[in-house]
Amino acid sequence: MTDNKKHYTTAIIGALVALSIIALVLSVVKIEDVTLPPTVKYGLVFDAGSSHTSLFVYEWDSDKENNTGVVSQTLSCDVQGQGISSYANDPPKAGDSLRECLDKALKVIPAAKQRDVPAYLGATAGMRLLREQNSSVAGQVLAEVAKTMREYPVAFKGAQILTGEEEGAYGWITINYLLESFTKYSPKGRTRIRPEAANIFGALDLGGASTQISFMPEGSVINWKDVSKLMLYGYNYNIYTQSYLCYGQNEMLKRLAKELIAESSSSTRVDHPCYPKDYNETVLLSSFRTSPCTNQSDPHLILDDRNVTLEGRGNASGCLAAVKKLFNFSACGQRQDCTFDNIYQPPVRGQFIAFSAFYYNFKFLNLTEGQSLATVRETIEHFCTRSWEDLSSSYPEENPEELPKYCASTIYILTLLLDAYKFNEASWNNISFQMKVGNADVGWTLGYMLNLTNMIPEEAPVWVKGHVPSLWAAAVAFIVLTLVLGLAALLLLLWV
């Protein structure tokens, strides 16, 4: 064999051996697809209520369960000042009021993710009333809010006024999500499953300008226009939801004062049975014109610039009688499927969570621990008979403008729950008064965010190549290597 043949043969054998070794290495492992962990997404929702605004930041994994994200609350921030509807005379201040909470939100959201964060503002009954009164001004307030939010590095999706039914339905979603009525963790804690016998809760919400009731009725519903159809975690739910504008706590108190004044034949001093004895409050009659709930003409009352002094009497029974006059119960006749004003409602069913002002009023009187209806009534009646001197000395840290209102508010709550919604002695204990579940606030914003995750496309999995040993592949590679080396040896013999 010449030297050239030897070098050539050696090169061929070396190349074949190298290729065989590479084949062995590659075939010893089996290439499989491995999914990276899902990335975390964030959402930002402003709850622009009638009396104040709050911001909530939520987060969830980018993969979803049956098209609904698993959302948790990361931050809550109370905006300083009143609700955005209070800035009707200076709309730019509505937008400026949001800045402090927006700055706080950006501190908890990673900078790299901020521009992808969907940000929303939902306005409720306060803005619904302002829109009724002056739609142009309501539009200006929303425009200023939108202008401010667009200045921040988030994906602003819009500022809108929710309907009362949307507010009620989203509150219902929040409660049942937090209480795991839709899904729960499997025994091993690895996956979430739908409970076999889901215990669906009803929702009772009392705000400053409106109140909502939402629940799953039993059997057929006569009036389907009051039913919201929702799909969550792959299942359909039919929810009865009804909202009552002007029946929120603050608007109720205004309406009550106006009715008492109207009944007094325009006297400048008027008895107020719900206020504590020896407590006085002066109101300007023209102030009732600022809300559609109290701006209606009354033949017995001219809303001019006169002052009227409301004098507290601390009369529980008189307060109850006055509060009941705010409802038109006679419109229902003897029907049990009717609340007031001839509004249809199927019979209440199951457990309910009462939140917002329902909770705050009862919490003040320490009535959120499942007390009997008799105990609740007795506690409220006793509170209503206490004098202003007694109350102000017993609750020195309470806002002196809010303290006189608890009697009327709690009696109003009882009237709404018992006479309007038709809860009774037997079903009273089905109501739980609470504002949080775990570390999450109860309200409509989480339900809103849950619903919106249905519209966020599920991310395609990110695939990478992982290596998993395979004995079968190693055996095949060994055989191939043996054949290659045998072929190399045969070629060598032919060249010699």
Catalytic residue annotation: 167
Structural contact between residues 310 and 280, judged by C-beta atoms closer than 8 angstroms: yes
Structural contact between residues 95 and 142, judged by C-beta atoms closer than 8 angstroms: no
| Cα dist from 465 to 44, 251, 482, whole Å | 35, 63, 29
Structural contact between residues 410 and 383, judged by C-beta atoms closer than 8 angstroms: yes
Distance of CA 412 to the CA centre of its chain: 24
Residue 416 backbone dihedrals phi, psi, to 5 degrees: -65, -45
Tokens standing for residue 178: 């937090």
Tokens standing for residue 122: 């939902």
Residue 121 backbone dihedrals phi, psi, to 5 degrees: -130, 125
CB atoms within 10 A of CB 11: 10
User: How far is the C-alpha of 434 from the C-alpha of 203, rounded, in Å?
Assistant: 11
Distance of CA 262 to the CA centre of its chain: 39
Beta strands 53-61 and 71-78, pairing class = antiparallel
User: How far is the C-alpha of 355 from the C-alpha of 443, rounded, in Å?
Assistant: 8
Structural contact between residues 239 and 214, judged by C-beta atoms closer than 8 angstroms: yes
The number of residues in the chain equals: 496
User: How far is the C-alpha of 272 from the C-alpha of 311, rounded, in Å?
Assistant: 5
Q: Which of 492, 491, 202, 470 is nearest to 358 (CA)?
A: 202
Structural contact between residues 183 and 192, judged by C-beta atoms closer than 8 angstroms: yes
Tokens standing for residue 100: 């402090």
